A = this chain, B = another copy of it.
């Protein structure tokens, strides 16, 4: 039993260290330089050993995104549902600004996921559904307390705040002075009718 547990733990640790190595290599070498061979070398494992954990590069990077999302959820969304999801998303984006490779991985996988057979395709579908539910749910909660009017559409607002967060990354890549978390918060407030600039005159 002890041996099984130890083997299992060792596997989990090895898996995590490969994912960390993949992120480091991607950051240093860019997309084209981040081969399985280079990642294996960085993780101090044989190529065959790496392939035992992650059979293809597509699987490896999709799992890396999954792992990073899980870590971000634990760090930023542990306060949900008592905390405002707009503020939590903004905090997560602030971390993204400090490490541009995180945004790059997301863009890279989104491009790849246009192929329906890519593992990121199914993963992103789940991810967007989950995020959508978090925001739409919160708007409905605000409506139940009367803080947001019944004429607001929770599904549109959820779609729009997620699009704002994904979309602002592009402009930020061209102009690093853009305050991405600030943009997300301002859009969230605007959509909820909380910001002065959206009040119809």
Q: Which residues of A contact B (CB under 8 A)?
A: 30-31, 100, 103-104, 107-108, 110-115, 121, 124-125, 128-129, 132, 148-149, 151-153, 156-157, 159-160, 162-171, 173-175, 178, 183, 186-187, 190-191, 193-194, 196-201
A-B contact pairs, 21 of them (CB 8 A): A103-B114, A107-B107, A121-B174, A149-B200, A149-B201, A151-B201, A157-B197, A159-B168, A160-B183, A162-B167, A162-B170, A163-B171, A163-B183, A163-B187, A164-B164, A166-B166, A166-B171, A190-B190, A190-B198, A193-B200, A193-B201
- In the complex, besides A110-B173, A152-B197, A157-B197, 20 extra interface pairs with C-beta distance below 8 angstroms are A30-B115, A100-B114, A108-B111, A124-B173, A124-B174, A148-B201, A152-B198, A153-B197, A156-B197, A159-B171, A159-B178, A162-B170, A162-B171, A163-B164, A163-B170, A163-B183, A165-B167, A190-B191, A193-B200, A199-B200
